[in-house]
Amino acid sequence: MLVSTRQLLQAAQQGNYALGAFNVYNLEGVRAVVLAAETERSPALLQLHPSAFAYGGPPLVALCLAAAKHASVPISVHLDHSASPDAIQASMAAGLTSIMADGSHLAYHDNVTFTRQMAKLVHASGGFIEAELGLLSGTEDGLTVPEYEAKLTDPQQAASFAAETGIDALAVCIGNVHGHYHGAPQLDFDRLALLQRAIPVPLVLHGASGLPAPLVRRAIALGVRKLNVNTELREAYLGALKSSLGSSQSPDLLALLQTAVAAMQAVVAEKLQLFGSAGRI
C-alpha cells in the first residue's frame, strides 16, 4: 500500500526502529525492494536518486507508485538528494510527495534559504521534506565529494536550521560516507546523541551500505529513523548479472533478471532485519 513517508516515520519513532530507504533504477530494483518488504512484513521506501529520475522520468515514478499501491505492506516513494528546484517541481508533477531538498553543498545561509523555499513548496501540496546539514564525502551515481570537503553536522546549528526551514527530517553527517568506506567506519556517536537531543524531527543517516551491524544498531538507538542503502544493492545487481552472463553464452532473459532480483532482495531483507522494521506489519 502506498503511504506517506511522514506516516512511516511516525511509526518508526514510536517503535524505536529505522526505515530502510533503497535506491532503485528499474523494475528489477523495485521488485526486489517490494518482495523483500512483503516477505519480511516490513515498511520500506523506494528511493530515486536525481540521476535515476533524470533517466527514467515520470514513467519510473509511475512504476514506483504503482508497485507501492499494489504492495501488501506500507511503501513510500521518495526523491533523494535533489539540489534542483526544477527537478523537485518535475518530480512532484510526476506524483512524488516525499522529497529530499539537498542544499548541503551551499553555504549555511544559502542552504537555509533554499531548504525553506523547497519546504514551502512541498508542504503546500501536503508533502514531506528531508534536508541535509553538513556534507558527506564519497561517491554516488557519479557525484563525488572529496574527503577534505566533508563537514560534520553541528548540533547547535542543526537546531537552528530545523527551526528556520520547517523540515520534516534531517540527514546528518557524523562520519558516514556515500559509497565504499575506506577502512573501518568511524561514526561520531557523541555528536549523534547531541543531535538527537537538539533536533525535534527524525534523523536520517545516508551511506548505510557497508556499515557494520553494531554501528547501525547504535545509530538507531540514538534516534536515526531512516537509513539509505544504494551501493550494496547496485553491487548485488551487477554481480548477479556478471555471474549469470559468465556462465552461459545465451541465458534466458527473464531468468537472468529474476536472478538479479533475488540477489537484491536478499540484501534488502538483511537490511530490514538489521534496521528493526521486519515483522512490524
* Averaged pLDDT in 10-residue chunks for the chain of 281 residues: 98 98 98 98 97 96 98 98 95 98 94 98 97 68 43 92 97 77 76 96 90 95 96 95 81 92 98 98 93
Give the pLDDT of residue 137. 46
CA atoms within 13 A on the CB side of 202: 27
Give the pLDDT of residue 136. 61
CA distance 202 to 97: 17
Closest CA to 21 of 114, 118, 132, 98: 98
Q: CA 19 from chain center: how many Å?
A: 9
Give the pLDDT of residue 138. 43
* Cell numbers at 51, concatenated: 540521476
Q: Taking a C-beta distance cutoff of 8 angstroms, is the pair 237, 206 a contact? A: no
CA atoms within 13 A on the CB side of 3: 17
Residue 141 designated active-site: no
Give the pLDDT of residue 192. 96
Give the pLDDT of residue 139. 44
Total-model pTM:
0.91
Buried b (16+ CB within 10 A) or exposed e, 3-29: bbbbebbebbeeeebbbbbbbbbeebb
The yes or no reply on domain 5-275 and CATH 3.40.630.30 is: no
